[in-house]
């Protein structure tokens, strides 16, 4: 199949998915296939050979045939509102979530408004079950200064476990995040936390001094401001030691200014590359004379770099006033005291303290280009890879109108989610690997063991949590995630949890299936459970029934327990690997 470029959309549109090896004969072998899965032809051939030996199975509806379909299916119909909601504003649904949404009072518009208001106020939601799963994480609630001392400053260089201890906050931040994605009722918060982590990306392994601060970055910067004010979040990001170290501003000084942070502040955090005009002169940018240029040039970046000199970390005791707390510090001797001009604003010399940097953040947070850029990214995340311009414009307008509101981002999110386009656009996005991973665990009520081994699955699937090295964060469009090898690895995982192949993930498919033995009732139960709707195309339902019934009577019970088990687990895996489960 090869990696998908110009023709990548055909992978999902024609339902070319991974065949399933015989779960009775080759479960472990299939699970360990690793790199061989990238070679689709070999996998198909192996599956066909394995399925030829299925006990008591004579149907021409072989397992791989269910998924290797070349039907011209067209686009699927737009599903019920609750399906859209839980695929885009949550990491999928847990059993009971869809019915709870359907039971909300009023029509669809009122149901959505009620649900979104509850989610926008997570502090009003009880989440004891999820919180209990996090109770043993030692760094979860440690203030930054305490974490810095425990995991960095006070570590003994002779301790052979020094680097392991140093990494505890980062490891636990990853474990806590996945746990919340899977079990928390505060799903929109988790979606937005994921969005902002990618927007303000920090790779914690870039420097040893980032690792002990990363739990604090997640807790005090990203989570604390996910629904808050963008300007407040922007400064919290700028001053946190994780970002100061990651983009090198911690060492930027008047004798050796480092533009890494200032460059990404413009290009990734605020105005975006779409508003960059290269090496032109500041005064030549439209709007400059009026004090509001509509774009930025390199000189704006260079001048902003000077504004942030001296913004560093209190990470030693050798200099006057430093106590090695690991917190933000403004060091006046390193600051460039002379006048600057940024985005048409003249900043006079010798401004006190951090005033130069504060002025830059003010200018960027209130710039129309920033409003459009943030709005476009949010609409892309919450609606479509091709975000509707009308929704972008409305969200950008809302962003600027509420720029001083402490809950500014709540207004912006409402404007996007309550737009008519939110519920009327479907299948313009696919789940990224992390979303596939979490949604599969949620829908099957999988019990997961909270340990480091669990994280290797996200590495294997291609989207390890907090592991994107460049500052741009993981991409949020389907072309980036539709390579054959990536999809095959995701499908292998989905089939694995359906089959209970891995001790880390126990889904209990047969317990959920209860006493259902008739192919017709089994098929309809699992389609509703996993998709919440009919499959696309509808003929897939017939194929599943035929597979379960071995081309026999769809209302005749399957009496053999072993046959029932592997067939039920197989169709669960098939549905989880289908395009219907991937769309959002």
Q: What is the pLDDT along the chain (584 residues), one digit of tens a residue?
A: 333 333 333 344 433 333 333 333 333 332 233 222 223 333 333 333 333 333 334 445 554 555 544 455 678 999 999 999 999 999 999 999 999 999 999 999 999 999 999 999 999 999 999 999 999 999 999 999 999 999 999 999 999 999 999 999 999 999 999 999 999 999 999 999 999 999 999 999 999 999 999 999 999 999 999 999 999 999 999 999 999 999 999 999 999 999 999 999 999 999 999 999 999 999 999 999 988 999 999 999 999 999 999 999 999 988 888 999 999 999 999 999 999 999 999 999 999 999 999 999 999 999 999 999 999 999 999 999 999 999 999 999 999 999 999 999 999 999 999 999 999 999 999 999 999 999 999 999 988 877 888 899 999 999 999 999 999 999 999 999 988 888 889 989 999 999 988 878 888 899 999 999 999 999 999 999 999 999 999 999 999 999 999 999 999 999 999 999 999 999 999 999 999 999 99
Residue 495 CA to residue 573 CA, distance in Å, equals 4
Strands 311-313 and 345-347: unpaired
Answer yes or no: do 485 and 571 share one domain: yes
Answer yes or no: do 375 and 313 share one domain: no
Answer yes or no: do 322 and 394 share one domain: no
Residue 432 token pair: 């990224």
Within 13 Å of residue 152, how many CA atoms lie on the same side as its CB?
Answer: 24
Helix axes 168-183, 452-461, angle to 10 degrees: 70
Helix axes 433-443, 484-499, angle to 10 degrees: 10
Does some domain include residue 234?
Answer: no
Does some domain include residue 208?
Answer: no
Answer yes or no: do 337 and 379 share one domain: no
Answer yes or no: do 354 and 392 share one domain: no
Does some domain include residue 357?
Answer: yes
∠ CA(20), CA(539), CA(386), 5° rounding? 85
Sign of CA dihedral 551, 557, 563, 568: positive
Does some domain include residue 131?
Answer: no
At 65 the pLDDT is 52
State whether residue 527 is helix, strand or coil: helix
Residue 296 CA to residue 342 CA, distance in Å, equals 9
Helices assigned H by DSSP within 206-346: 214-216, 224-225, 230-239, 241-246, 260-264, 298-307
Answer yes or no: do 388 and 337 share one domain: no
Residue 74 CA to residue 82 CA, distance in Å, equals 23
Last residue of a domain, one of 333, 365, 397: 365
Residue 120 CA to residue 312 CA, distance in Å, equals 34
Contact indicator for 351, 309 with CB cutoff of 8 Å: no
Helices assigned H by DSSP within 253-354: 260-264, 298-307
Answer yes or no: do 480 and 576 share one domain: yes
Does some domain include residue 385?
Answer: yes
Residue 418 CA to residue 402 CA, distance in Å, equals 17
> Would you state the torsion angle of the CA atoms of residues 129, 437, 201, 190, taken in this order, to the nearest 10 degrees?
-30
Last residue of a domain, one of 365, 381, 413: 365
Answer yes or no: do 402 and 491 share one domain: no
Cβ neighbours of residue 73 closer than 8 Å, sequence gap 6 or more: 13, 14, 15, 536, 537
Last residue of a domain, one of 327, 346, 365: 365
Does some domain include residue 450?
Answer: no
Answer yes or no: do 355 and 382 share one domain: no
Answer yes or no: do 317 and 379 share one domain: no
- CA 95 vs CA 439, 502, 506, 527: distances in Å: 12, 22, 16, 13
DSSP conformational letter for 284: G
Answer yes or no: do 538 and 575 share one domain: yes
At 451 the pLDDT is 81
The domain in which residue 514 lies consists of 10-79+476-582
Does some domain include residue 233?
Answer: no
Domain count, the chain: 3
Q: Which of 43, 57, 59, 78 is nearest to 542 (CA)?
A: 59
Does some domain include residue 398?
Answer: yes
Answer yes or no: do 327 and 374 share one domain: no
């Amino acid at each position: 199949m090869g990696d998908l470029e110009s023709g990548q959309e055909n992978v999902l549109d024609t339902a070319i998915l991974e065949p399933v090896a015989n779960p009775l004969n080759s479960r472990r072998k299939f699970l360990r296939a690793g790199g061989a899965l990238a070679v689709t032809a070999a996998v198909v051939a192996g599956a066909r050979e394995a399925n030829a030996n299925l006990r008591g199975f004579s149907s021409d509806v072989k397992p791989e045939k269910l998924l290797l379909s070349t039907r011209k299916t067209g686009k699927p119909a737009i599903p019920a509102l609750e399906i859209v909601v839980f695929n885009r504003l949550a990491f999928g649904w847990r059993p009971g979530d869809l019915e709870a949404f359907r039971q909300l009072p009023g029509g669809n518009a009122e149901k959505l408004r009620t649900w979104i208001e509850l989610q926008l106020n997570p502090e009003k939601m009880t989440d004891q079950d999820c919180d209990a799963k996090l109770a043993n994480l030692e760094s979860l609630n440690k203030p930054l200064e305490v974490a810095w001392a425990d995991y960095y400053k006070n570590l003994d260089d002779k301790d052979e476990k020094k680097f392991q201890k140093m990494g505890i906050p980062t490891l636990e931040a990853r474990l806590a995040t996945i746990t919340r994605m899977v079990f928390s009722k505060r799903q929109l918060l988790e979606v937005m936390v994921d969005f902002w982590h990618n927007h303000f990306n920090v790779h914690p392994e870039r420097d040893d001094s980032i690792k002990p601060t990363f739990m604090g970055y997640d807790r005090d910067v990203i989570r604390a401001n996910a629904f808050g004010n963008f300007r407040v979040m922007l400064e919290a990001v700028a001053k946190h030691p994780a970002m100061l170290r990651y983009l090198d501003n911690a060492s930027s000084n008047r004798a050796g200014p480092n533009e890494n942070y200032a460059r990404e502040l413009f290009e990734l955090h605020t105005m975006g590359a779409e508003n960059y005009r290269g090496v032109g002169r500041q005064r030549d940018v439209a709007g400059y004379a009026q004090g509001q240029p509509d774009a930025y040039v390199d000189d704006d970046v260079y001048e902003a770099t000077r504004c942030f000199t001296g913004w560093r970390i209190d990470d030693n005791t050798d200099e006057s006033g430093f106590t090695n707390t690991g917190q933000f510090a403004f060091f006046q001797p390193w600051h460039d005291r002379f006048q600057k001009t940024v985005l048409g604003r003249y900043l006079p010399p010798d401004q006190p303290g951090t005033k130069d940097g504060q002025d830059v953040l003010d200018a960027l947070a209130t710039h129309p280009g920033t409003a459009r850029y943030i709005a476009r990214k949010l609409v892309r995340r919450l609606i479509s890879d091709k975000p509707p311009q009308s929704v972008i414009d409305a969200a950008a307008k809302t962003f600027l109108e509420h720029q001083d509101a402490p809950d500014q981002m709540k207004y912006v999110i409402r404007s996007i989610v309550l737009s008519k386009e939110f519920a009327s656009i479907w299948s313009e996005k696919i789940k990224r690997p992390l979303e596939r991973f979490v949604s599969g665990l949620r829908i099957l009520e999988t019990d997961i063991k909270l340990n480091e081994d669990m994280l290797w699955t996200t590495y294997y699937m291609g989207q390890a949590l907090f592991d994107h090295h460049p500052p741009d964060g993981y991409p949020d469009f389907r072309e980036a995630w539709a390579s054959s090898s990536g999809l095959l690895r995701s499908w292998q995982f989905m089939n694995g949890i359906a089959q209970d192949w891995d001790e880390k993930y126990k889904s209990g498919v047969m317990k959920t299936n209860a006493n259902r033995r008739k192919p017709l009732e089994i098929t309809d139960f699992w389609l509703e459970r996993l998709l919440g709707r009919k499959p696309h195309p509808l003929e897939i339902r017939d194929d599943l029934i035929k597979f379960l019934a071995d081309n026999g009577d769809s209302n005749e019970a399957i009496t053999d327990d072993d046959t029932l088990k592997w067939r039920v687990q197989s169709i669960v895996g098939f549905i989880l690997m289908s395009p219907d489960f991937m769309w959002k």
